Structure 1
Amino acid sequence: MTTTDRALARDDTERAPAGENGAGRGRLRPLARAVLPILVTLIAFLGIWLAVSYLLLTPDRREILVPPPQRVLTESIMQWSHLRPMLEALLLDVQVSMLGLLIAAVLGILAAIVMSQAWWLERSIYPFAVLLQVVPILAIVPLIGLWTNYGWTGRVVVCVIIAIFPMIANTLFGIHSADPGAHELFTLHGATRWQRLTKLQLPAALPAVFTGLRISSGLSVIGALVGDFFFVQGQPGLGTLLAVYISRVQSADLFTAILLSTLYGVVVFSAFTALGSVALRSWYSGAQRRLS
């Protein structure tokens, strides 16, 4: 082996571990970008919480208004007798909000499809959809409770009323956003109204539908909590427990219930965001294949 061959072999040997380390760092970099902002935000949140509790409040006010995080952890989260009712209430809110979201999504998409078929249908129905959006929900929740005997059905109805408008508005916008040139092509080939809807308008509306679904998913969680505040009969939800903890001045349990409801809202929003990303990635890939 010549001197040049030995040098080349030595360079390859030295570069191999570096390449492996570079590949390892390349795999860890996306994970770090996803995790580090969350950790920084969490640390900042805990720091602000501690600062408000210990620096801005006196000890007697601290115990009532903003208990420190370690007290919430030891007196509420780690006490099964305190945490168990909250988890059971959270399960009820999950069932109510997901059923309400499903109904709102189906009704919203169907209403948008109906309105897209004729201008007079849109002008007739859309004002009532806007009315559902602007009506003070707290003013009609007691009325809904009277109609439904303050039961499960009433809670679901509240979720539907709060969550349906984004589905209607976004789906209708997506249907109307179909390419005019594609409309002319469908007309040239004598496509029926059903073919135009299923093969052009609804596929074009898919990104807007998932945007509406992402917004409505968060609103359905709010609807479940709002219903809990008024529908105190039967199994309590997190909203019911929040009202109880406020009346009893159970600050640690109150903060735990708030954290659980917030965490649930974040999980629901993130799940539908991820679902939309996966669906739209497949949608764009299929559209590119059809164009090519």
Structure 2
Amino acid sequence: MTTSISVAKPARAAAVAAIPVTRKRGARARRVVAAIWPPVVVFALVLAGWYAVSYLALAPERRFLLPPPHEVVVSGFFDPIAGPTILTGLLQTALVAAVGLGVAVVVGVAWGIAMSQARWAERSLFPYAVLLQCIPILALVPLVGFWFGFGFFARVIVCALMALFPIVSNTLFGLRSVDPRMRDLFALQRASSAQVLFKLELPAALPAMFAGLRISAGLAVVGAIVADFFFRQGTAGIGTAISRYQAMVQGPPLFAAIIAAALLGIAVFVFFGWLSRRVVGAWHDSAS
């Protein structure tokens, strides 16, 4: 009898200890469901509206203006000619956007750091960052083509120009937003300018920098597509495929290419959101 009671006590303790774990898993599952179902419902409504416009508002001879979703999938993504063309163009656009974003990150972070070190540097350099943002990119693309050709390098420059300003502005904002009390603490410890920059300012600026990076990542994809529309030489990207399908009035492949480009932008945004949570961690509210 004593042995059975002694065995039952650890079992009961283990069951009691498992209750918080089970509750935690249930709460996590409910949060996942609560985060997923709103976009799923909206997606279903969009599909229903899409089908309604295709079959009810458009005549059969004008249905190429908005082909139904299943026709876009079959004649676009799974077509033996259009499918590989879209996939190849998407990979090329992703490569150009990644390289252009890398250039923009290096230049933009260095630019923001330079402006944060002195007010005269900010007054001297920030107006040119704003000027670069205000000039329509469509006006700069032909000049980039004349100066640097119409190949991969020119496409990268267009991506970098489009993605530069959010990184510059958010880096400067993050570096300027450091708690003054922390600055006083570093001053009391007689920290050098390099120590203040790398041990205080840059870690504190990471949430703002990643916010700008998420915006710039989407702009880099847009820049790669815009460059494809203007630069018809070199390896074709998804923008070239969109332009070709538009000229040939091929509705389903055109919509498939546009959807592929949109999915690329969403994937890039989600990836940098995940990277932000991994790098920033749980020490900042933006990671939640």
Question: 1:7 maps to what in 2?
Answer: none
Question: 2:5 maps to what in 1?
Answer: none
Alignment-mate amino acid for residue 217 of structure 1? A
Deviation at 1:41, TM superposition (A): 2.2
Quote the Cα distance in structure 1 between the aligned partners of 2:99 and 2:25. 43
Question: 1:289 maps to what in 2?
Answer: none
Quote the Cα distance in structure 2 between the aligned partners of 1:74 and 1:284. 45
Alignment-mate amino acid for residue 50 of structure 1? Y
Quote the Cα distance in structure 1 between the aligned partners of 2:180 and 2:24. 46
Alignment of 1:1-292 (within 5 A): 25-26=26-27, 28-62=29-63, 64-284=64-284
Deviation at 1:106, TM superposition (A): 1.2
Quote the Cα distance in structure 1 between the aligned partners of 2:24 and 2:181. 46
CA 148–23 in structure 1, closer or farther in 2 if over 3 Å, else same: closer
Cα RMSD for the two superposed structures: 2.4
CA 197–81 in structure 1, closer or farther in 2 if over 3 Å, else same: same
Q: Say if 2:82 and 2:253, in contact at 8 Å, map to a contact too.
A: yes
Secondary structure of 1:233's match?
A: coil
Quote the Cα distance in structure 1 between the aligned partners of 2:44 and 2:223. 30
Quote the Cα distance in structure 2 between the aligned partners of 1:242 and 1:220. 17
Secondary structure of 1:90's match?
A: helix
Deviation at 1:26, TM superposition (A): 4.0
Deviation at 1:131, TM superposition (A): 1.1
Alignment-mate amino acid for residue 46 of structure 1? L
Quote the Cα distance in structure 1 between the aligned partners of 2:23 and 2:171. 45
CA 153–21 in structure 1, closer or farther in 2 if over 3 Å, else same: closer
Quote the Cα distance in structure 2 between the aligned partners of 1:36 and 1:233. 44
Mean CA deviation greater in 196-205 or 212-221? 196-205
Deviation at 1:27, TM superposition (A): 5.0
Quote the Cα distance in structure 2 between the aligned partners of 1:99 and 1:89. 16
Mean CA deviation greater in 221-230 or 35-44? 35-44
Quote the Cα distance in structure 1 between the aligned partners of 2:199 and 2:70. 56
Quote the Cα distance in structure 1 between the aligned partners of 2:24 and 2:190. 54
Q: Say if 2:76 and 2:257, in contact at 8 Å, map to a contact too.
A: no
Mean CA deviation greater in 272-281 or 210-219? 272-281
Deviation at 1:226, TM superposition (A): 0.5
**Deviant stretches of 4+, over 6 Å:** 19-24
CA 50–116 in structure 1, closer or farther in 2 if over 3 Å, else same: same
TM-score by length of 2: 0.88
Question: 1:8 maps to what in 2?
Answer: none
Quote the Cα distance in structure 2 between the aligned partners of 1:105 and 1:42. 33
Deviation at 1:282, TM superposition (A): 4.7
Secondary structure of 2:43's match?
A: helix
Quote the Cα distance in structure 2 between the aligned partners of 1:223 and 1:133. 13
Secondary structure of 1:67's match?
A: coil
Structure 1: gaps spanning 5 or more residues? 2-11, 286-292
Question: 1:288 maps to what in 2?
Answer: none
Alignment-mate amino acid for residue 173 of structure 1? F
Deviation at 1:51, TM superposition (A): 1.4
Quote the Cα distance in structure 1 between the aligned partners of 2:23 and 2:180. 48
Quote the Cα distance in structure 1 between the aligned partners of 2:183 and 2:23. 50
Quote the Cα distance in structure 1 between the aligned partners of 2:282 and 2:106. 22
Alignment-mate amino acid for residue 105 of structure 2? A
Mean CA deviation greater in 274-283 or 47-56? 274-283
* Paired-residue identity, %: 45
Deviation at 1:22, TM superposition (A): 6.5
For each residue in 1:29-56, what CA deviation from the matched residue of structure 2 results, as whole angstroms up to 9, or x when unmatched?
Answer: 2332233223212211211111111222
Structure 2: gaps spanning 5 or more residues? 2-11
Secondary structure of 1:150's match?
A: coil
Secondary structure of 1:234's match?
A: coil
Deviation at 1:125, TM superposition (A): 0.7
Quote the Cα distance in structure 2 between the aligned partners of 1:78 and 1:241. 15
